[in-house]
C-alpha cells in the first residue's frame, strides 16, 4: 500500500516517520516544504493533489477545521472524481459535522474515509504509542490497521462515521478540565509551601491521580510553561468545539465552559503557543482574570 501523509506538524512529523520506519512507501506534503524535506526516505510532493495521485491511502493531520475542510473540499481540494478506490483518514481534531461531511464527500466519489483522531501528544507521536480512535466502515478500518499499528499502541474502531471524533471530544473535555485542575491544585499547594515532588508521588496513590497530573505535574514543578508540544491554541479549539456541541445538544457542560474561559484569556494575552500548563499564570494572579 502506497501511503501519503499531509500535515507534518508536531504530531504528523513523528507519525509519518513511524509509517516510513515500518517499511511503507511514503509520499509527503506539507505547506512549509522544509518540514517535508526533513523526512529522509519520503518522496516530497508539491501539492495535495500530487500526493493523492501517488498514494492509495492518504493520512491527513492538519491544524484545525478550516485547514482540514480546505484540504479536502476547498477550491484546490483533493476530493474529486479521480479518488475512486482510495482511502482518506483525517487525524485532526474537528467537530462531528466536519467528520460526517468528509465521510459523505469521499463516499460520493467512491473513496473510503475514516475519522481517526489521535491522543498521546508529540511524545506519543514520535514513540509510536498514540491512542488512535477511528470511525467509519469496519472493512476500511481493517485495511488501514497495519498503518495505524505503526503509529499507535492503542488502535480502536469506535463505530460508524463520526465515532472517532466523538471519542476524541470526550477525551479532550477531560484533558482540558483536568489540566486546569492540576494547575489550580499544584499552584495552591506550592503557595502553602508543599513539596511538589512529594505531593505528586503521594497523589499517584490517591483519588486525585490522573493521566493529566502525570503529564502536567512535572511541567508545573519546573515552570516549563513555554515549552512546545501541546499549545494552548489546540485545547482552546477543542473546548470551543465541545462547548458548541454541548449547547447544540442541550447539555450543560459548565466545567468545559469554565476551562474554555481560562484558556481564552491566556490566548488573548498572546500565549497561544505556550503549553496548557501556562494556566498556572492565571491561577497565581500573574495574569489578571
CA–CA gap between residue 284 and residue 225 (Å, rounded) = 13
Nearest distance from C-beta of residue 216 to ligand NAP, angstroms: 12
Q: What DSSP line would sit under 210-233, residue for residue?
A: -HHHHHHHHHHHTT-TT-SSSBHH
Nearest distance from C-beta of residue 36 to ligand NAP, angstroms: 9
User: Considering only residues 56-85, where is the footprint of ligand NAP by CB under 6 A?
Assistant: 61-63, 67
User: Considering only residues 220-259, where is the footprint of ligand NAP by CB under 6 A?
Assistant: 229-230, 234
In angstroms, what CA-CA distances link 108 with 103, 104, 112, 154, 289? 9, 6, 10, 30, 48
CA–CA gap between residue 24 and residue 59 (Å, rounded) = 13
**Of 25-33, 76-84, 138-146, 186-194, which part binds ligand NAP (CB under 6 A)?**
25-33
Residues near 123 by beta carbon (within 8 Å), at least 6 away in sequence: 229
Residue nearest to ligand NAP (CB): 9
Specify the residue, 62 or 199, whose C-beta has the smaller distance to ligand NAP: 62
Binding residues for ligand NAP, total number by CB under 6 A? 23
Residues 186-225, one symbol each (x = binds ligand NAP by CB under 6 A, - = not), give ----------------------------------------
CA–CA gap between residue 136 and residue 103 (Å, rounded) = 8
Nearest distance from C-beta of residue 226 to ligand NAP, angstroms: 15
Nearest distance from C-beta of residue 188 to ligand NAP, angstroms: 26
CA–CA gap between residue 249 and residue 105 (Å, rounded) = 24
CA–CA gap between residue 146 and residue 24 (Å, rounded) = 10
Q: Does 135 bind ligand NAP (CB under 6 A)?
A: no
Q: Which of 4, 92, 135, 162 binds ligand NAP (CB under 6 A)?
A: 92
Please, which residues bridge with residue 218 across strands? none
Q: Does 175 bind ligand NAP (CB under 6 A)?
A: no
Which residue reads 526533513 in cell numbers? 38
Crossing angle, helix 163-191 and helix 211-221, to 10 degrees? 40
Q: Does 8 bind ligand NAP (CB under 6 A)?
A: yes
Q: Which of 3, 4, 5, 7 binds ligand NAP (CB under 6 A)?
A: 7
Nearest distance from C-beta of residue 175 to ligand NAP, angstroms: 9
Q: What angle do CA 232, 233, 239 make, to 5 degrees?
A: 90
Specify the residue, 11 or 111, whose C-beta has the smaller distance to ligand NAP: 11
Q: Is 133 exposed, middle or buried (0-12, 13-18, 19+ CB in 10 A)?
A: buried
Q: Which of 74, 122, 160, 261 binds ligand NAP (CB under 6 A)?
A: 122
Q: Does 121 bind ligand NAP (CB under 6 A)?
A: yes
- Binding residues for ligand NAP, rule: CB under 6 A, are 7-12, 30-32, 35, 61-63, 67, 92-93, 118-119, 121-122, 229-230, 234
Amino acid at each position: 500500500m502506497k501511503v501519503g501523509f499531509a500535515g507534518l506538524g508536531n504530531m504528523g512529523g513523528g507519525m509519518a516517520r513511524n509509517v516510513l520506519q515500518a517499511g511503507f512507501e511514503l509520499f509527503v506534503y506539507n505547506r512549509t516544504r522544509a518540514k517535508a524535506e526533513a523526512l529522509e526516505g519520503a518522496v516530497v510532493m508539491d501539492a495535495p493533489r500530487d500526493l493523492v495521485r501517488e498514494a492509495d491511502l492518504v493520512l491527513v493531520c492538519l491544524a484545525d477545521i478550516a485547514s482540514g475542510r480546505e484540504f479536502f473540499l476547498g477550491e484546490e481540494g483533493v476530493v474529486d472524481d479521480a479518488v475512486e478506490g482510495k482511502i482518506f483518514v483525517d487525524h485532526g481534531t474537528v467537530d462531528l459535522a466536519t467528520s460526517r461531511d468528509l465521510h459523505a464527500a469521499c463516499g460520493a466519489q467512491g473513496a473510503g474515509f475514516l475519522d481517526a483522531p489521535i491522543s498521546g501528544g508529540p511524545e506519543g507521536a514520535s514513540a509510536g504509542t498514540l491512542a488512535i480512535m477511528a470511525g467509519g466502515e469496519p472493512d476500511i478500518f481493517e485495511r488501514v490497521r497495519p498503518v495505524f499499528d505503526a503509529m499507535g499502541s492503542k488502535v480502536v474502531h469506535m463505530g460508524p462515521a463520526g465515532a472517532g471524533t466523538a471519542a476524541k471530544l470526550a477525551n479532550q473535555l477531560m484533558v482540558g478540565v483536568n489540566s486546569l485542575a492540576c494547575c489550580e491544585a499544584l499552584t495552591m499547594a506550592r503557595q502553602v509551601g508543599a513539596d511538589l515532588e512529594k505531593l505528586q508521588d503521594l497523589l499517584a496513590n490517591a483519588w486525585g491521580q490522573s493521566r493529566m497530573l502525570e503529564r502536567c505535574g512535572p511541567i508545573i514543578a519546573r515552570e516549563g510553561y513555554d515549552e512546545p508540544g501541546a499549545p494552548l491554541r489546540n485545547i482552546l479549539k477543542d473546548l470551543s468545539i465541545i462547548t458548541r456541541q454541548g449547547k447544540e445538544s442541550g447539555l450543560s457542560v459548565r466545567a468545559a465552559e469554565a476551562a474554555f474561559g481560562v484558556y481564552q484569556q491566556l490566548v488573548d494575552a498572546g500565549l497561544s503557543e505556550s503549553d496548557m500548563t501556562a494556566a498556572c499564570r492565571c491561577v497565581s494572579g500573574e495574569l489578571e482574570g
